[in-house]
Structure 1
Amino acid sequence: MKQPLRRSLLAAVAALVTGMAAALLPVLGPASPAQAADTGLHVSGGRLYEANGTEFVMRGVNHAHAWYPERTSAISDIAAKGANTVRVVLGSGDRWTRTSASEVSSIIGRCKAAKVICVLEVHDTTGYGEDSAATTLDKAADYWIGVKSALEGQEDYVVVNIGNEPFGNTGYEGWTSATKSAIGKLRGAGLRHALMVDAPNWGQDWSGTMRDNAASVFAADPDRNTVFSIHMYGVYDTATEVQDYLNHFVNNHLPLVVGEFGNMHSDGNPDEDAIMATAQSLRVGYLGWSWSGNGSGIEYLDLVNGFDPNSLTSWGDRLFNGGNGIVATSVRATVYGGGSTGGTGTAPNGYPYCVSASSDPDGDGWGWENSRSCVVRGSSADR
């Protein structure tokens, strides 16, 4: 075929296609939010992705900011241990002191400085229906709308976890409608962030309510940008229970994160090895509870003693340094440059920081951990 004729035919085809598209536009309407170009953290095919299309798997820690607002170094300390995500406890003012919009901005700033993704959650909803002090998901949605100014433009860095463990073991049948309503309220107010929703039954979903209704909740989000969060404590004390729950979501292409878990609990002994191994094999995120400051008999869930990053507990050592742990599996978000988080962070001379100063018995700033040399932070070798 001669080139001039080919160009003429191509031009004619292009004109025909353009005309057909123009004719169909009034019928089909503009692209829906789910079809539009992706901005920020977003769900696709049951996985969480960054704006550039890179899959992001959370490997992190919970931090109780609402109860310890003075612990401003906690986020950077957690990041230095290798986490790529920090889930931060906030208060809506219904049960705990309201975390103001300016405070939310500061927290996001600390997350960005530490190069971690920030999962922000309202804790006041915990155990609603069973705990008389808890508030509703609707009230939590009002809080997020009230601090919208701090959230706008942070879609690359922030996931909005609407409400922690929003139902206890009473009235949990209302979880589906309440969750759909809260999502709709936030989308109607213009929040375009990836949203996270916790399971009922104090987060453990022993009733299967979230599992069985997750598909309809996801479909109710006009942005199709909702991640589900299961909390794994005593209900998940066998590998089979862990695997069955996580596999259900993965097999049904529904995005899931283990938003909280521990190595022991008053309601039973969770199988943390199975949780971490299964999450790793399925590319499911996990966030251990919690950095420090636990009380009322669950102090064993502290990852470090007294907020001291150089004093890991046995649970902290397991989560960070054990098999399928944070140091071995965490990958930094590409919005911060990507790559391995480097465990405890990397000194200017290229060596990793030591988890504990006790690794340096000679006091020269050099230690030995995980079969490699490390640098004691702030020492003469840290340059």
Structure 2
Amino acid sequence: MRRRLATAAGALLAIAASLLAVPSTAHAQSQAEQGFHVSDGRLLDANGKDFVLRGVNHAHAWYPTRTPQALKDIKALGANSVRVVLATGDRWTKNGAADVAAVVTQCKQNRLVCVLEAHDTTGYGEQAGAVSLSRAVDYWLSIQDVLKGQEKYVILNLGNEPHGNSGYTAWTSDTQNAIKRMRDAGFDHTLMADAPNWGQDWAFTMRDNAAKVFAGDPDRNTVFSIHMYGVFDTANEVNDYLNRFTSQHLPLAIGEFGNAHSDGDPDEDAIMAAAQRQGVGYLGWSWSGNGGGVEYLDLATDFDASRLSAWGRRLFEGANGIKQTSREASVFASGPADGSCAVSYRLSDWGSSFNADVTIRNTGTTAVKGWRLDFAFPGQQKINSAWNARTAQDGSQVRATNESWTETIPVGGSVSFGFNGSSTGTNGVPASFALNGVGCAKS
């Protein structure tokens, strides 16, 4: 159960300039070389490029067999990240090291930033069986070996909604201690800290203590996460909360939100608009598989990407939505240099329908592992089905991404895919192609 705050919050905690001190230049450079890092309240990737989360949550802990296809579908719909539910083994069956390693690999194959979260902490102090943040750290330590070296691709969300509406004032010390243990153990990843009060921070414990917690991280590499449900049912509440963080240059993401909830009706339009305006990341809840009366939060019906719910269409396709605002992390832009790829597009046109066969050739000196081909139709063409690649279309813009069996383009080699479509008016060959964001020659 999530409660609204009935009265206005107290004054914002004064913040000493020293609390927002940044790491030394040498240490900051070391972080940048390793992976994601925070600078002046912004999340940057390992290339020093601004990165804004635009993705969804996926309940891997309960639906592990669904994960490979879910990640492909989530990417095809335009997301740049996915928050993956993991279990520590205290409330649900543990997701062990091998399983987590596989999830990270699948995220990377789909060019998705992986936000891994320990879910067994949900509602600690109020929910029976929920465990402490300290116990969540034990879990991260148990799988540390498979997370080392993944700092460019993985963010670690310490524990989901780590306090309910009882004992939540312990959030500050509990979070500080968890961060300290993670850093002492050698974790260099960006860490994400969820708010208490079932993630909604109606008592403003996280809001008023975030600067202290951030300053206590020796790496200054913690992002705070607010979950927006019924507590955030007006634009004023949404904007005020985000402003409190961005005005202090404190990094914030909206780790969960929906278009409806049992505790009230969140203003998803205001949430998405404010997030876009202020450059705050968001991750919608959730891909599919919700139960217990909140099935309406499924973005895809029965894990079927072709059957998006009204909430799914709003999140992916609506104003300030994922398709409109998502930008892929630059660490995935590892394709060939300009001029070291070539694309042929062979068109078989029957008037109102057509087939296109596309071949991508690697004319460079390094293999391409994981690819995305972008192009624009010259007329009113629409893709109906594809083979050997996954396609997503937004108006005339098309993005094709590899299947597992077409993932690698060796030096001097090629991969081919095709699609069937319909058209009105004159059909034609796209004017240009870009492989992983870099232009290719036409052949």
What TM-score, normalized to structure 2?
A: 0.72
Q: 1:265 to 1:95 in 2, by over 3 A?
A: same
CA contact (8 A) 2:87 2:94 kept: yes
CA contact (8 A) 2:373 2:399 kept: no
Q: 1:209 to 1:137 in 2, by over 3 A?
A: same
Tell me, in whole angstroms, the C-alpha distance in 1 between the residues paired with 2:299 and 2:386: 27
Tell me, in whole angstroms, the C-alpha distance in 1 between the residues paired with 2:158 and 2:103: 17
SS in structure 2 at match of 1:177: helix
The question of 1:322 aligning with 2:318 is answered: yes
Tell me, in whole angstroms, the C-alpha distance in 1 between the residues paired with 2:373 and 2:280: 32
Q: 1:364 to 1:150 in 2, by over 3 A?
A: closer
Runs of 4+ in structure 1 over 2 Å off: 30-39, 346-352, 367-382
Q: 1:182 to 1:314 in 2, by over 3 A?
A: same
Aligned to 1:66, which of 56, 61, 64? 61
One-letter amino acid of the counterpart of residue 183, structure 1: I
CA contact (8 A) 2:165 2:196 kept: yes
Q: Which residue of 2 aligns with 1:23?
A: none
Aligned to 1:99, which of 86, 95, 99? 95
Q: Deviations over 1:122-167 (max 9, x none)?
A: 0000000000210000000010011001100000000000000000
Q: 1:273 to 1:153 in 2, by over 3 A?
A: same
Q: 1:321 to 1:223 in 2, by over 3 A?
A: same
The question of 1:123 aligning with 2:119 is answered: yes
The question of 1:54 aligning with 2:49 is answered: yes
CA drift of 1:43 comes to 0.4
Q: Which residue of 2 aligns with 1:78?
A: 74
Aligned to 1:311, which of 304, 307, 310? 307
Q: 1:131 to 1:85 in 2, by over 3 A?
A: same
Q: Deviations over 1:206-258 (max 9, x none)?
A: 00000000000001111110000000000000000000000110000100000
SS in structure 2 at match of 1:73: helix
Tell me, in whole angstroms, the C-alpha distance in 2 between the residues paired with 1:40 and 1:223: 12
CA contact (8 A) 1:34 1:224 kept: no
Q: 1:184 to 1:313 in 2, by over 3 A?
A: same
CA contact (8 A) 1:375 1:381 kept: no
Q: Which residue of 2 aligns with 1:372?
A: 396
Tell me, in whole angstroms, the C-alpha distance in 1 between the residues paired with 2:310 and 2:61: 25
CA contact (8 A) 2:226 2:252 kept: yes
One-letter amino acid of the counterpart of residue 350, structure 1: F
Aligned to 1:213, which of 209, 223, 226? 209
Q: Which residue of 1 aligns with 2:270?
A: 274
SS in structure 2 at match of 1:62: strand
Aligned to 2:38, which of 22, 40, 43? 43
One-letter amino acid of the counterpart of residue 375, structure 2: G
The question of 1:249 aligning with 2:274 is answered: no
Aligned to 1:300, which of 296, 301, 305? 296
The question of 1:258 aligning with 2:282 is answered: no
- Aligned runs of 1:218-233 on 2, under 5 Å? 218-233=214-229
Q: Which residue of 2 aligns with 1:172?
A: 168
Comparing both structures, which one devotes a greater share of its residues to helix?
1
Q: Alignment identity in percent?
A: 57
Root-mean-square deviation (CA), in Å?
A: 2.7
One-letter amino acid of the counterpart of residue 81, structure 2: T
The runs of 5 or more residues in structure 1 that have no matched partner are: 1-29, 340-345, 353-358
Between 1:330-339 and 1:209-218, the stretch displaced more is 330-339
Aligned to 1:381, which of 416, 420, 427? 420
Q: 1:189 to 1:32 in 2, by over 3 A?
A: farther
Q: Which residue of 2 aligns with 1:158?
A: 154
Tell me, in whole angstroms, the C-alpha distance in 2 between the residues paired with 1:263 and 1:166: 23
The question of 1:202 aligning with 2:226 is answered: no
CA drift of 1:117 comes to 0.3
CA drift of 1:380 comes to 3.9
One-letter amino acid of the counterpart of residue 86, structure 1: V
Count of matched residue positions in the alignment of Structure 1 and Structure 2: 341
One-letter amino acid of the counterpart of residue 290, structure 2: N
Tell me, in whole angstroms, the C-alpha distance in 1 between the residues paired with 2:234 and 2:321: 19
SS in structure 2 at match of 1:212: helix
SS in structure 2 at match of 1:155: coil
Tell me, in whole angstroms, the C-alpha distance in 2 between the residues paired with 1:198 and 1:287: 13
The runs of 5 or more residues in structure 2 that have no matched partner are: 1-23, 336-370, 402-416, 422-443
Q: Deviations over 1:86-132 (max 9, x none)?
A: 00000000111110101110000000000010000000000000002
CA contact (8 A) 1:34 1:222 kept: no
CA contact (8 A) 1:303 1:316 kept: yes
SS in structure 2 at match of 1:381: strand
CA drift of 1:73 comes to 1.3
